[in-house]
Each structure stands twice: as structure tokens, then as C-alpha cells.
Structure 1
Amino acid sequence: MRGQMMDQPLLISSLLDHAERYHSDTEIVSRSIEGPIHRYTWGDAARRARQLANALTDLGVVEGETVGTLAWNGYRHLEAYYAVSGMGAICHTVNPRLFAEQIAYIVNHGEDVVLMFDLTFLAMVEQLAPTLNTVRHFVLMTDRDHMPRETSIDNLLCYEDLVRRSSDRYEWPVLNENAASSLCYTSGTTGNPKGVLYSHRSTVLHAFASSLPDSLHISAEGCVLPVVPMFHVNAWGLPYSCAMNGAKLVLPGAKMDGISLYELIENEHVTLAAGVPTVWLMLLQHCERNHLKMHSLKRVIVGGSAAPESMIDQLAEHGAELRQLWGMTELSPCGTTSTPKFKHRASDAQTLRQLHTRQGRAIFGVDLRIVDDMGRPLPHDGVAFGNLQVRGPWVLSQYFRRERDSAHTEDGWFNTGDVVTVDKDGYMKITDRTKDVIKSGGEWISSIELENILVGHPAVAEAAAIGVPHPKWDERPLMVVVLKPGQTATRDELLDFYKGKIASWWTPNDIVFVAELPHTATGKLQKMKLRELFADYKWSD
């Protein structure tokens, strides 16, 4: 016997409809690419999204076709999120930080029929346009006053012209909830990027789960600043969960430096912000240098890589809780968050600190397990560590336009590439990426733990641990370090900093100082480049 409940599909357009109906006057604030701060409401965003859907229809875009974006976190990009997916097309967010050849590959592989892009990327698109085989229309996301007088792009369209001349009367089609809604490519360091194709159903379910108090805790009482780019895993789903809950949304545009972020946080009374650790390191260093305090910020979501323990204390000085998020492009991206349980309410500060340094517990909808190299399940005892596998309704089943591959097991689990432990309470801790773990004398050393400890030194801004070939021990850890401006530290001083914090044999063999570390387009350390750079490193002992 079937239940007798209404059968209504889970659609992205319903999120915007809800925000317009019940949170119409809640603000959306953007730092525009043209310069000024732009303000409007969820009601305005919904109206303009309908206008954009009409404009794209007039350009010939039909259900199932792909519309690409090369854009920062701004209100026009937000409108594209909802207009494109809502009309039944696929919103393809392209990472502009990739190499030009990779961008061309992604646009062509996605078969984008329209490419909408910010002013920042005009020169790039002019260069790439002749190689983008499927793009029928190029749309510059600006107003008439900022359109270029000359361009090599034929029939370049103005976004604001398209929106202004289009009606705001548009009925969002009732789609199959399993229809494709959006497309994002991984920022892998080897081979061509791989596409992850999300559905309306997976996106809405992800918005529900990520909104929960034990997840990102999104609420109509909050003001949310996604520093994570909208071209990266849909800004961790925040444009959707903020609409679902009617939260005030603050979009930083292209300016994600410490000064600009501090101004937005203070001026807009931001309560929750989300981004990679390097962003918060810049912000905290700006506050420290200028003796500034953040007054409204209550929670900082950190993902992309593990946050150093010292960041917990630094944010606490501003009255903000650090909450670790673990996820992947392939997971939409939320998988786990580091929130305490009821049983921890009377725990001492050290116990709570240990919880916050872990990547956290699985949120409902995500199942996880750890296995050894033979695929045999390992216990969740906090001691055994192995390869992390996940499954769930917002985990990809296969990569876009690829056959099922080694990323998935025969019984349907996805191999994440992370090496982790999981304790009896379900708290997961990443000890390394499979490709980054340091194997010394037949034992594994966690590069992440070495990095997090050293970043706790007051003179260290960033640190990366890599395994370098060693004649006796197979590999030994080498630390590559960036010092804070105006700070000094010696090799011996930093090596001594490890004493009492790790097993003695884990202690790195050497320290190398550099001006900066290489990062991926999404802010992650590029260990592969460092390993290439120091492949011929000669140990002194």
C-alpha cells in the first residue's frame, strides 16, 4: 500500500519561490565587479531570475542544454544559478582559475551553448572564444555602461540588456526531480578535470541536510558570507540553503582579501562565513596586525583542507566557533561536520578542542566506512585507519560522460582518496590523502598532522609536509614553510616545536623556507608540485 501524500518533485526553482514568498524583503548584498556595493532582496532576485529565464529562452536555450558561467560570487551569478536550472537547463559553473586549456576543455566537454562571464574574464574569453566549439552566445555579465567599446567576440551580449527587456512573467516548468540541474568539474592535478552532474533532487536534499543545526546551521536569523567561490561545488550549496531558510546572503565578488572580508563582516553583521583555511588565515592576520575585532561572527565553516588547531583559538578570541566541514565535489559537497553531541556538554576544553580538530560526524544522508587496501572493512574505533568510502543520495554514481570506473566499488561505494580514522561516536579524522601519506620505514606518517602542528608556531603562516625519498627509510618528511611577514624562525627552532606533540620518529628531517606555497584553483596545497620541486632533495644526515 502506498502512502497518500502529495507527489511534488524536489526542484531548485521551488527554493527561490519559497524565498520570494516568505522572505521577500531579506537582503542580498554583493560587492559588484564594477566596484560599488549592490543591494537588493530575495524578491528582487526571484523576479530577475524569471527575466533571465525568458531571455535565455529567447536565445534558443532549451531543456537539457548547458549554460556555462565564468563568474565570481555576485548577484548576477546567483540569478543564473536559479534561472538556468529552473528552466530545465544545466548550470555549468566553470572555474576561471584553471589553465586556459583546461577551461576550453571543460566548456567543450560540457557542450555549453551559452557562456556568461564577468568583466574580469573578458580578455580570457576573447582568447578562448575561437576554441569553444559549442557556444552560440557570449554574455558579458555587466550593464551597458561597462560594455567594451571594442572586442574580438562577435555579437557580444550585455546581461543587463537581456534582463531589462525580458518579462518577469515566467512559469517554472514542473521537471522530473532527477533531471540534471548543474555541472561542476573537479580541480584535479592529473589528467583532464572530471565532471560531476547534480540533479534537482540531490541539490534540494543536500540543502535540507546542510541547513541542519549539526551541519552548517543555516537560519532566517543568520547572515551568511560564502567566501568559497560559486564556481566551486556551488559555493558548498549555500546559495540554495540560504534561499531555503531565508537567510541574508552576502557575496564578496572578486575581493577575498583580509581587508575586504573584514569590511563586509563588520558592515553587514555577518554571523556565518564559509571558506578554505587560507582565507581565514589572511583575515586573522589582518585583524592581528591592525588590532581589530570581529563582533557579529558566530561561526566559521572551514573546508577544503584541515584547519590548524591554532585557528580554533584565534577565532574564539573573536567570539566565533570554528566548525570543520569535510566534503568533495563528488558529494555536492557536504559529508561531515565537527559538532559535539549532548554527551559532550560537560566535557573539558581539551576534549571539545579535539572534537573540533576532527572532520566530524556524517550528516544524515551520508554513510561512510573505512577499508584496508584489500577492501576489507575496518573497525570504527578511532585507532584503525584506512581508505574512506561513502555513499548517499547526493554522492555521484559516475562521472559525467564517463563509464563507471575505479572510483566506485562493486557494491556501490565511492572511494574518496582520503585516509581516515573513525571513532566509536562516529567522528572522522583525516590523517592524509592516499597520495600524500608519507611512508617511512614501512609505517605511515600523517602529513596533515605535521602541518597543523607547525602552523601553530607564532612565526609560521603556512606549512606543507611532503615525503622525500630517503636512502634508508624509503621516505622522510620535509617541511616547506612560509613565515608570517616580519617574523623569523630557524630550522632548529621549528623542529624543536614538535617535541612532545608527536612520536619522535615522526619528526621531520628538515625545514625549507619559501616565499609562497603553490595552491590549486580552490585554495588547496599542491603537494604534487612540491614533490616535483624537491624530488632531488639531498638529506644532510
Structure 2
Amino acid sequence: MYGQMMNLPLTITNIMQFADKVYGGSEIVSVTADNPYHRYTYAEAFRRARKLANALEKLGIKRGECVGTLALNDYRHVELYYGISCLGMVCHTINPRLFPEQLEYIINHAEDQYLFVDVMFVPVLEKLAEKLPQVKGVVVLTDEAHMPENSRLPNLICYESLIEDEDDEFEWPELEEETACSLCYTSGTTGNPKGVLYSHRSTVLHCYGSALPDSFGLSGRDVVMPIVPMFHVNGWGLVYSGPMVGAKLVMPGPKMGDGQTLCTLINEEKVTVSAGVPTVWLALLDYLEKSGHKVPSLQRLTTGGAACPQPIFDKFREHYNVDVQQAWGMTEMSPLGTYHTLKPHMDCWDEEEKTRVRLKQGRPVYGVDMKIVDENDVALPWDGKASGAVKVRGLWVIQRYFKADTDACDAEGWFETGDVATIDADGYMQITDRTKDVIKSGGEWISSIELENCAMTHPQVAEAAVIGIYHEKWTERPLLVVVPKEGESPDPAELLAHFTGKVARWWIPEACEFVAEIPHTATGKVSKKDLRAQFEGYTWPKV
């Protein structure tokens, strides 16, 4: 027997129409290259999305075809998110920081028909123009006054001119909920990047899950500043969940890494919630400490993409009364897998106990099932001690990569994430390493992430990374690589002594090396692959 309830499709179109009708007056504030402070409402955003839809149809793009974007976080990109996907086309968000060879590969692999790009990324495409045969035109996200001059790109179109004369009425098509809505490629640390094709259904369910009180906890009273780029895993879904609850959006555009601009936006727009990678919060903290400014409206920050150093938690809480909450996920998970909030019985704990738990990546969000397994694929206990490979399945988890011939999951439907972790009895997961980055010394595992977190608590360390280096006796030993804080000259022996009493004695790195900069991937994570290449053939100092 079946239930007798309505069965309406879960689509992004529903989110857009609901927000337009119920929260039309909520604002979107943007920093853009051609307008340093643009402000309008959801109603205006969706009116322009309808104009865009009319324009896209006239360009001859068919449903199911991909439209690429190389753009930062601002109002025009929001219009593209909805205008493209709600037409039944696929919004392919492209990371402009990728290497040219990767950009060429994913644009051609996706068969993007048109590319919508910020002005600053036009030179990137000019170098690839002759290698993108299926691209019919490039639409520059600006007005006529700011269009690039003497560009070598054929069929260069101004976005504002494209939509200016279009009708602001549009009859959105009725889409099946399994219709593809967006496409994002992994960063491709090994081999070519892989495409993850999201559906309207998976995106809406992710939207529900991510907005729950023990996730991002969003409401119409919030002012949300998504700093995580919209070209990276749908901007963690905030461009969908924000409108769903009617939250005001503040978009930092090209200033997403500028501490002064972020501080100004937070204070002028009364931002309550923000989300970004740890390097962004380090930049904001640095500005706040140097300027003496405060951020009284800010209540909580979500951090993800990399393990968050303890000083970020401590400084925001102690000096600015801001709660920092970790989240974990990946492109293949839309991206949310876990989110960190404390359970009620932990409220009475002292700060040291709370910090110990805060350093974990959080509990699974409803909609995501998770387990850790040993090398024989046997499930391990959730005791906070057993460490194993993380596998997931769920309502917004990948089944197969775009254009792949076989599923990405095992026979039982589990997707292996490539992370190694423990999960405690309360359900809190703690990533100890990536499968490919784990250090095995003398037959025992060492967590590079835990060592990095410990190193970052030293007052003279700006950034730290730990990699395994070949050792004649122990097979591998950890090497600590440090970027000192500006004006500091830390002593290597003193830095290594900093680990004493904080980690197992045999975990302590064998040596410390200083660098001006640690390499990062296009998504802002430490590139252990490049760091290992940098120290290939390293000779351990003689003691």
C-alpha cells in the first residue's frame, strides 16, 4: 500500500519560486569588479534570471547541454546558478585557478556550449581559445563600459547587453527531479579531473540537510557571507540554502581573501554567519589583530576543505566571541558529509575538553551514512581509537562520475572517500590523514594532520605541513615544513620540542625545514604531492 500524499518533484526551480514569493525583499549584496558595492533583492535577482533564461534559449542552447562559468561570488553568478539549471541545462562551475591543461580538458569533456566569465578571467581563456572548438561564444559578466578591449576571443558578448532587452517573464519548464542541474570537476591530483553531475533532487535534499540546526543552522534572520568560491562544489550549497530560508546574502567577489574587505562587509552588513577555508580565517584574524577592529555581529564561522588549526578556534572564541565550526565533505558529496556542533551533555565541559572535540570534523548529517573499514574492508568500531578508510553513501553522494562506464561505488553502494579517520562513540569523526598521505614509520601509522595541528599552535608558525620522507631504518619518518610568521626566526630544535607531551614520542618529526611558501592546490588545500616533489631526495640531518 502506498501513501496518498502529493508527489511533487524536488527541483531548484521550487527553491527559486518559493524565495521569490516569500522572501523577495531579502537582499543580495555583492562586491564586483565593475561595481564595488552592488545591492538588490531576491525578487530582482530572479527577475533577471528570467531575462537570462529568455536569452539562453535564443542562443540556441538545448536542455541537457552544459554552460560553463568562470566566475567569483557575486550577484551575476547567482543569476546563472538559477537561470541555467532551471531551464534544464547544466551549470558547469569551473575553477579558474586550475592549470591551463586542466581547464582545456574539463571544458572540452563537459562540451560546454557557452562560457560565462568574469572580466579578470578573459586572459585565461584567450590562451585556450583555439583549443575549445565546441564553445560557441564567451559572455563577459559585466556591462559595456567594462568590456575588455582588443580581445582575441571570437564571439565575445556583454552579459548586461545580452539580457537587457529580454522579457522579464518566463514560463519555467516542468523538470523531473533527476534532471541534471550542475557539474563540478574534482581537482585531479592524479590523472585528469573527474566530473560530478548533480541532480535537482540531490541538490534540494542537500539544501535541506545543510540548513538543519546542527548543520549550518540557517534562518531568515541570518546574514550569510559565503566566502567559499561558488566555483567549488556549488559554494557548499549556500546559494541554495540561503534563499530557501530567506537569509540575506553578502558576496565578497574578488575580495574573498582580503581581511580588510571581509571585516568591512561583516560590520556594515551585520553578517552573522560565514563559511570558508582555514586560510581565509587566518587572513581575517591577521587583519583584526593588526587593526584592532572587532566583528560584533558575527556569531559563527564554518571552516572546511582542510583541517582547521586550533589557534583559529581559540582566537575567534576568546577575542571575538565567534564560534568556529568544522565541516567535512567532498565534491562527490555535494559536498556536506559531517558538521560539528557540540551535543547538549558537553555544555558543562571545561574549554579544554570542548576544544578536544571541536578539533574533530563533526557528526554525519542526516542523509549521509558512514563507516570506517580496515584493509580487508571490515567495518571498524566507533570507539575513537580504531582508524580506517572512510566510506559513505547517501541521498546526495555520487554513484558514477560524469561519462564514466562504471559506478564509483563498490558492490554494496559505498563510495570510498580517500580519507582515513576515527569515529568516537558520540559519532564525531576525526580525519587522521588522506589515504595517500598517511605516514607509516616502523610499521606504525602516524597522523600528519594531528602533527600539523600541533605545529600551528606554536606562536611563531604561520603555516605548517608534515610529509613522510624515506628513512633507511624506519622506512618513513615525518618531516615538518614550516612557514614562519612575518618577522619571526624560530629555532628548529625548539619547534620540534614543542611536540613533546602533546603527541606520542615516536610521532615527533625527525627534522624541521623552513620555506617561504607551502604549495596549495587550486582549491586552497596544501598540495602534499608538490611538497613531496619539492623535498624529493631529502637527506636527513646527521645528529
Verify same fold: TM over 0.5. Answer: yes
Per-residue CA deviations over 1:101-135 (Å, capped at 9, x if unaligned) read 11011010001111110100111112212211211
Unmatched tracts of structure 1, length 5 or more:
none
C-alpha distance in 1 between matches for 2:4 and 2:353: 47
C-alpha distance in 2 between matches for 1:34 and 1:100: 26
1:442: which partner in 2? 443
Deviation at 1:35, TM superposition (A): 4.3
Q: Any idea what SS the aligned residue of 1:51 has?
A: helix
1:370: which partner in 2? 372
Q: Any idea what SS the aligned residue of 1:79 has?
A: helix
2:31: which partner in 1? 31
Q: Any idea what SS the aligned residue of 1:204 has?
A: helix
1:58: which partner in 2? 58
Amino acid at match of 2:510: N
Q: Any idea what SS the aligned residue of 2:495 has?
A: helix
Per-residue CA deviations over 1:206-248 (Å, capped at 9, x if unaligned) read 0000001100111111011111100000100000000101100
Per-residue CA deviations over 1:419-464 (Å, capped at 9, x if unaligned) read 0001111110001101111110000000000000111111111000
Q: Any idea what SS the aligned residue of 1:398 has?
A: coil
Q: Superposed, which structure 2 residues align to 1:2-17 within 5 Å?
A: 2-17=2-17
1:521: which partner in 2? 522
Q: Any idea what SS the aligned residue of 2:113 has?
A: strand
Q: How many residue pairs were aligned? A: 540
C-alpha distance in 1 between matches for 2:36 and 2:279: 26
Q: Any idea what SS the aligned residue of 2:62 has?
A: coil
Q: Superposed, which structure 2 residues align to 1:198-217 within 5 Å?
A: 198-217=198-217
Per-residue CA deviations over 1:16-42 (Å, capped at 9, x if unaligned) read 111111111111000012242100011
C-alpha distance in 1 between matches for 2:62 and 2:386: 51
Please, what TM-score do these two structures have when normalized by structure 2? 0.98
Q: Superposed, which structure 2 residues align to 1:33-182 within 5 Å?
A: 33-182=33-182
Most deviating of 247-256 and 284-293? 284-293
Instruction: Check the 8 A contact 1:339/1:355 in 2, yes or no.
Output: no
Unmatched tracts of structure 2, length 5 or more:
none
C-alpha distance in 2 between matches for 1:148 and 1:492: 53
**Once the two structures are aligned, what percentage of the paired residues are identical?**
54
1:433: which partner in 2? 434
Deviation at 1:154, TM superposition (A): 2.2
Task: Identify which of 327, 341, 344 aligns with 2:329.
Answer: 327
C-alpha distance in 1 between matches for 2:260 and 2:204: 34
Instruction: Check the 8 A contact 2:136/2:155 in 1, yes or no.
Output: no
Instruction: Check the 8 A contact 1:177/1:201 in 2, yes or no.
Output: yes
Amino acid at match of 1:30: S
C-alpha distance in 2 between matches for 1:151 and 1:499: 58
Deviation at 1:149, TM superposition (A): 3.4
C-alpha distance in 2 between matches for 1:219 and 1:521: 31
2:480: which partner in 1? 479
C-alpha distance in 1 between matches for 2:379 and 2:431: 17
Q: Any idea what SS the aligned residue of 1:254 has?
A: helix
Which consecutive aligned stretches of 4+ in structure 1 deviate over 6 angstroms post-superposition? none
Deviation at 1:190, TM superposition (A): 1.6
2:468: which partner in 1? 467
2:280: which partner in 1? 279
C-alpha distance in 2 between matches for 1:529 and 1:313: 30
2:236: which partner in 1? 236
Deviation at 1:61, TM superposition (A): 1.2
C-alpha distance in 2 between matches for 1:309 and 1:391: 30
Please, what TM-score do these two structures have when normalized by structure 1? 0.98
Instruction: Check the 8 A contact 1:391/1:414 in 2, yes or no.
Output: yes
Deviation at 1:348, TM superposition (A): 2.3
Q: Any idea what SS the aligned residue of 2:267 has?
A: helix
Amino acid at match of 2:281: W
C-alpha distance in 2 between matches for 1:380 and 1:319: 32
Deviation at 1:540, TM superposition (A): 1.6
Most deviating of 280-289 and 328-337? 280-289
Deviation at 1:178, TM superposition (A): 0.5
Instruction: Check the 8 A contact 1:25/1:43 in 2, yes or no.
Output: yes
Amino acid at match of 2:480: M
RMSD between aligned residues: 1.0
C-alpha distance in 2 between matches for 1:133 and 1:318: 52
